Amino acid sequence: MKSLEHAVVGAVAGTVAAVALDPPGSLPLLVAGAVFVSVFIDLDHFVIARVQRGDWANLRLAVTNPRVGLLDQERVFEEFGTDFNRKRLLSHHLVGGVAVGALALSGLGSLAAFLAVVLYVHVVCDFLRDLGIA
């Protein structure tokens, strides 16, 4: 999904999760955090592309060409196939699992649950897009 789509989905998921789970923090702060997490977890795509290509060409393309980086994001990783998509989803699970686990172990269970919901929705949306459903 594109960053703007993830931002909208993150705002909705964050609002619902904040109201339902009542984690610490104000509703606007939690929703802003959900939007931030929903968009910026996708930075792992550049690390995966770096490992696969051996250089940062994909990151350079997104940063140096604002049209591609903001409006035509599919072009950034179009050279990679389904294997990239599986690695991307796995990376999201690993990053999310560590973040949620760290919050839970820190005694912030409701915040961990909030983050888990936001990231779950992000991954499901990515998966639906990969299947061509959304």
| Whole-Å CA distances, 77 to 32, 50, 52, 95 | 27, 11, 11, 20
Determine the Cα–Cα distance for residues 82 and 79; give it in Å rounded to an integer.
10
In this predicted structure, what is the pLDDT of residue 8?
Answer: 97
Please state the domain extents for the chain. 3-52+81-131
Mean pLDDT by 10 residues, the chain (134 residues): 92 98 97 97 93 93 85 84 89 96 97 98 94 84
CB 34 within 8 A of CB 118: yes
pLDDT of residue 28: 98
How many CA atoms are closer than 13 Å to the CA of 72, on its beta-carbon side? 8
What pLDDT, on a 0 to 100 scale, did the predictor assign at position 72?
81
pLDDT of residue 82: 83
Torsion over CA of 104, 43, 94 and 105, rounded to 10 degrees?
A: -10
User: If DSSP codes are grouped into helix, strand and coil, which group holds residue 117?
Assistant: helix
Rounded to two decimals, the pTM is: 0.90
* pLDDT for residue 41: 95
